[in-house]
Structure 1
């Protein structure tokens, strides 16, 4: 039980960091350069992780890195950047909180992880809390911003479960580095063509990009994919509800956004959903067995921490 709680605590680093990312992006980064912002967030973080792991893709991971980089990085980062600029911090982060239910359903289809009753109940309670936080009567909410945030949620839910399905044949740090690097390389030429030369950045913007790349991306994605390796997707998805909690609290404390009694009730429900979906003895037993996908893999790809053959650069 204690070991699994440590995995939950490690995984929680990701949604907390992502919750702060909305505020940092909204306040300090250029509003009219979503492609540039996404590229600068992805590529440096991927290169830092590559320097740490010193591994290059092998076998099927060349095309898998491209697919996951496109979903989890290129498309996702651009959508999140746009949502962060168009919406208040609290609204942008809470729309993403629908992801636990999406992750559970996709995990059921792709990795044969049937959601448990506690996970479904936690998702329902958490979503109820999200609705309370969103339906605050705040006027002027951008419809394109909400659509961008919802699209980011769906793309990331599918991409994260796809990464979980493929993760047995590569080290977590390496596969995260490959995804971020591939996504950044996809974005760089598109940003140059669509947005022109890079904008002039002042010191706060440079520091903000450093935080976004190293903390909200390199550290956060490594923690998140580690959690997906060791915990059921339903538990990881519910831990992701800490994203809106962080976004709302940060928006209130730092950005001066109003926190109502209705939002406080919503936050309490979100936290209750996270606690309800924590790993139990039954879920730990289930997550310890290979899924239908993993049972079909060769034994050498299921054994060891990283598994599979690795080529070092």
Structure 2
């Protein structure tokens, strides 16, 4: 926000602050917040599988786009294939998670609820965008969600038992990493994509997150990747590819040229065809 102010942007509209407050609180305070709360009681594997339902919720919630989504067989097929691949990819951890407890049911329910807040906030951002730049909108959303979350934590009495000196150094390092790469970079990228692309397409990132995590574990921590995971990885990537296939189509070939003879000289002329007049 300070950087945008130095650049001359003046984000003082109360209406736009309110729009970004709604988006930030829905996506971050309730969306990410309930996800973090629910994952106290379920494994990250189960959390990833539940989160992968986001594209389907986007399709169901974005009623004005129903005709576009349901008429595009590639999007529907790609989402289904990607979800199947993700379940296959994460099935080992899911099967090893043990019996289902009451706490696990509550945690799973909270993660599902978090998805609806995330989807709702994302659609609100898409349909009711504030008038500022993406950077300023992102900053306002982070500020409003941060203040709201602090108020929730204070009202819940969480700071009574919090002792900063008891937090290990690794946790502070992790927090710093999440601030830099999670909030400033990843969330900014998410908001940018929402401004230029359909939400259901953007939401396919939920298929990729666990794949990146497992690959990083293999690369940096020497963790093993099974043949089942490799198969799931291939199927998931295939699903994401199919979903976005229309975006991957190669551009039409450059217009051909012909050589004509004008007054004894050969000239190369490009044939240009108007798309609207074709």
> Where do 1:1-313 residues align within 5 Å?
50-54=1-5, 55-107=10-62, 109=63, 114-115=68-69, 116-136=72-92, 137-140=95-98, 142-167=104-129, 169-194=131-156, 195-197=158-160, 198-200=162-164, 201-250=167-216, 259-278=225-244, 280=246
Q: Deviations over 1:211-261 (max 9, x none)?
A: 112211221111011111112223212233212222444466667877543
Larger radius of gyration: 2
Mapped contact 2:35–2:110 kept (Cα < 8 A)? yes
Mapped contact 2:35–2:111 kept (Cα < 8 A)? yes
Q: Which has the higher contact order (CA 8 A, sep 6+)?
A: 1
Mapped contact 1:100–1:237 kept (Cα < 8 A)? yes
Mapped contact 1:234–1:277 kept (Cα < 8 A)? no
- Whole-angstrom CA distance in 1 between matches of 2:45 and 2:218: 8
Mapped contact 2:86–2:232 kept (Cα < 8 A)? yes
Post-superposition offset of 1:110: 5.2
Post-superposition offset of 1:183: 0.8
Task: Compute the TM-score of the two structures, normalised by the length of structure 2.
Answer: 0.73
Mapped contact 1:53–1:174 kept (Cα < 8 A)? yes
Q: Deviations over 1:133-172 (max 9, x none)?
A: 3443223263333223222222212211211112373321
- Whole-angstrom CA distance in 2 between matches of 1:112 and 1:176: 28
Q: Deviations over 1:78-129 (max 9, x none)?
A: 212224433333332232111112123323x256772222211111111111
Q: What is the RMSD computed on CA atoms of the aligned residues?
A: 2.8
- Whole-angstrom CA distance in 2 between matches of 1:186 and 1:110: 31
- Whole-angstrom CA distance in 1 between matches of 2:23 and 2:123: 10
Mapped contact 1:111–1:165 kept (Cα < 8 A)? no
Higher helix share: 1
